[in-house]
Amino acid sequence: PDLLPLVALSQEAIDRIVASVPGGAGNVQDIYPLAPLQEGILYHHLAARQGDPYVLQAQFAFDSRERLDDFSLALQGVIDRHDILRTSMAWEGLEEPVQVVWRKAVLGVEQMRLSPGDGDVAGQLKARFDASHHRLDIRQAPLMCIRFAEDAPNRRWVASLLFHHMALDHAALEVVRHEMQAHLLGQAGRLGDAVPYRNYVAQARLGVSPEEHEEFFRDMLGGVDEPTLPFGLQDVRGDNAVMEETRQDVAIDLSQRLRAQARRLGVSAAALHHLAWAQVLCRVSGREKVVFGTVLMGRMQGGEGADRALGMFINTLPICVPVGGRVRDSVLATHARLSGLLGHEHASLALAQRCSGVAAPTPLFSALLNYRHTSAESITLHMSSAWQGIEALGGEERTNYPLTLSVDDLGEGFGLTVQAVAGVGAARVGAYMETALASLVEALEHAPENPLVDLSILPATEREELLVGFNATQAEYPLAQTIH
């Protein structure tokens, strides 16, 4: 026990954990608690009746079996460098779940026998391991594997890289790509020292006290007694939900105007997007006190080397955005609330939700905003000689929430990606968001003292349909005839 300063475990519990690891104590490097968002993801893993919303998949095509082997060896090299990729989860019989770092964890690479006669091989492979019915055993490291098949009609090999969100966030995938490229080029020796994930866990566990977190969230959420459920969506477990996804770029002129207003007011562009999203949710939920989840990037305060570390650094926490005031005041208030939230980014979602007036098991919110800084090159596989013969076919990132907006800050422009349960209309929600941004920037430029509630989120086409199309009710009727 004295070798494990971040967690309180009895010798009996340690022995039970060690016995579950291949190679026993000699293969156990460390044991420590879960980070806040890891705890939430573990809950959804255990609660899912089948499948797992946090098993993510990326698909690749290779022009030869040798390139597939090179890819697998490069990924194994990254796994060997980073603790979090050699980590398993343990919770059975323990007072709190822990993560166990293995000294050696071998990437599972397995061939599937698929027949081209049954359809597109890549499509078959993706469907076989779809997260709606497929799970990874998170009690075994690494929390990723490769499943591949020969695609003879297209003279290639296709592979699905399956990985669990428990181990990697969006920014970490970029680090994996960068390090795999170094391995493929034979330049792995130039990579700097890997940053242990335990450093982040220690910071999250030993920083702000639970009492301080509770005081902050009670102040923000204490007056909220009804949930914010856009379109009435309240299933936040993500069980077998059919999701739609659309992506659109914000018009470059609108993007530039948004940045100009953010600079003029001394706020972040993220604050403007949070306020616009709050306007959308206000209209589609009928709530004046709008609450939604926002993704906080723990890397910003993660200490030296956090930008190149692997692991789950993000956290999802509720934010209550004011929508009842004047436009300019609402922008400043949203920025201040986001800034305050950063000081509590290591709080657990469960603690935050308990501070509201919404009683469990009713969810406090069912919509999420993920504002992330994305380099333009990260949207596609980096084209260097390292990747010759390797093609990225696509991938998917999901959450358990039925409505998610991801905003990609591309440095100059912005990209909006909406994931929504089928029936809501992901493209429709994206159009609402862009209209809300346009209305907001127009008001900041010309009428910042106007009430925020006066701004529209309806695109012109839908407004025309609602006010004109749906009201085209005139019908021919013989006036000499009675109603009967």
- CATH number for the domain spanning 308: value is 3.30.559.30
Can you say whether the dihedral through the CA atoms of 33, 35, 38, 43 is positive or negative? positive
Whether 295 and 351 map to the same domain: the answer is yes
89 closest CA partner among 80, 81, 77, 97 = 97
Q: In the predicted model, is pLDDT for residue 136 greater than 60?
A: yes
d(CA 368, CA 340): 18
Whether 278 and 169 map to the same domain: the answer is no
Domain assignment present for 201:
no
Residue 151 makes CB contacts below 8 A (sequence gap 6+) with 61, 116, 121, 122, 157, 158
Task: Compute the average pLDDT of residues 19-29.
Answer: 94
d(CA 33, CA 373): 28
Answer for the pair 184, 323: CB distance below 8 angstroms, yes or no.
Answer: no
Secondary structure, 3-state, the chain: CCCCCCCCCCHHHHHHHHHCCCCHHHHEEEEEECCHHHHHHHHHHHHCCCCCCCEEEEEEEECCHHHHHHHHHHHHHHHHHCHHHHEEEECCCCCCCEEEEECCCCCEEEECCCCHHHCCHHHHHHHHCCCCCCCCCCCCCCCEEEEEEEEHHHCEEEEEEEEECCCCCHHHHHHHHHHHHHHHCCCHHHCCCCCCCHHHHHHHHHCCCHHHHHHHHHHHHCCCCCCECHHHCCCCCCCCCCEEEEEEECCHHHHHHHHHHHHHHCCCHHHHHHHHHHHHHHHHHCCCEEEEEEEEEHHHHCCCCHHHCCCCCEEEEEEEEECCCEHHHHHHHHHHHHHHHHCCCCCCHHHHHHCCCCCCCCCCECEEEEEEECCHHHHCCCCCHHHCCEEEEEEECCCCCCEEEEEEECCCCEEEEEEEECCCCHHHHHHHHHHHHHHHHHHHHHCCCCEHHHCCCCCHHHHHHHHCHHHCCCCCCCCCCCCC
Q: In the predicted model, is pLDDT for residue 22 greater than 80?
A: yes
Q: Which residue has the higher pLDDT, 202 or 76?
A: 76
Ranges 176-180, 198-202, 300-304, 428-432: which has the least confidence: 300-304
Q: Which residue has the higher pLDDT, 205 or 177?
A: 177
Task: Report the largest interatomic distance among the alpha carbons of the chain, rounded to a whole angstrom.
Answer: 96
Provide the mean pLDDT of the chain: 89
Whether 253 and 228 map to the same domain: the answer is yes
The angle at the Cα of 265, spanning 263 to 266, to the nearest 5 degrees, equals: 60
Domain assignment present for 417:
yes
Whether 184 and 151 map to the same domain: the answer is yes
Whether 159 and 86 map to the same domain: the answer is yes
Task: Compute the average pLDDT of residues 368-380.
Answer: 70
Question: What total of structural domains would you count in the chain?
Answer: 2
pLDDT at 482: 85
Q: In the predicted model, is pLDDT for residue 119 greater than 70?
A: yes
The rounded percent of the chain whose pLDDT value lies above 90 is: 64
Whether 273 and 146 map to the same domain: the answer is no
Q: How confident is the model at residue 300 (pLDDT cuts 50, 70, 90)?
A: very low
Task: Compute the average pLDDT of residues 276-293.
Answer: 95
Q: What pLDDT digit, counting tens, does each position of 413-472 carry?
A: 999 999 999 899 999 999 999 999 999 999 999 999 999 999 999 999 999 999 999 999
Domain assignment present for 484:
no
Please report how many Cα atoms fall inside a 13 Å half-sphere around the Cα of residue 375, on the Cβ side: 10
Residue 393 makes CB contacts below 8 A (sequence gap 6+) with 59, 60, 61, 122, 158
Ranges 15-29, 47-61, 347-361, 384-398: which has the least confidence: 384-398
Domain assignment present for 284:
yes
38 closest CA partner among 78, 114, 97, 81 = 97
Task: Compute the average pLDDT of residues 65-69.
Answer: 95
What CATH number is associated with residue 98? 3.30.559.10
Q: What pLDDT digit, counting tens, does each position of 310-336 carry?
A: 777 778 899 999 898 999 999 999 999
Q: How confident is the model at residue 129 (pLDDT cuts 50, 70, 90)?
A: very high
pLDDT at 381: 46
Task: Compute the average pLDDT of residues 388-407.
Answer: 84
Which of 145, 160, 194 represents a domain boundary (last residue)? 194
Which of 162, 194, 226 represents a domain boundary (last residue)? 194
Q: How confident is the model at residue 395 (pLDDT cuts 50, 70, 90)?
A: low
Whether 302 and 186 map to the same domain: the answer is no
Whether 452 and 333 map to the same domain: the answer is yes
Please provide the distance, in angstroms rounded to a whole number, between the alpha carbons at the two ends of the chain: 87
Domain assignment present for 479:
no
Domain assignment present for 315:
yes
Q: In the predicted model, is pLDDT for residue 218 greater than 90?
A: yes
d(CA 74, CA 390): 13
Domain assignment present for 152:
yes
Whether 231 and 113 map to the same domain: the answer is no
Answer for the pair 273, 250: CB distance below 8 angstroms, yes or no.
Answer: no
d(CA 399, CA 350): 17
Domain assignment present for 262:
yes
- Please state the pTM of the whole predicted model: 0.75
Cα 276 vs. chain centroid, distance in angstroms?
Answer: 19
d(CA 13, CA 99): 13
Which of 194, 222, 245 represents a domain boundary (last residue)? 194
Burial of 91 (0-12, 13-18, 19+ CB in 10 A): middle
Whether 212 and 164 map to the same domain: the answer is no
Whether 187 and 299 map to the same domain: the answer is no
Q: In the predicted model, is pLDDT for residue 233 greater than 80?
A: yes
Q: How confident is the model at residue 307 (pLDDT cuts 50, 70, 90)?
A: low
Whether 217 and 134 map to the same domain: the answer is no
**Domain, as residue range, for 457:** 208-377+398-470
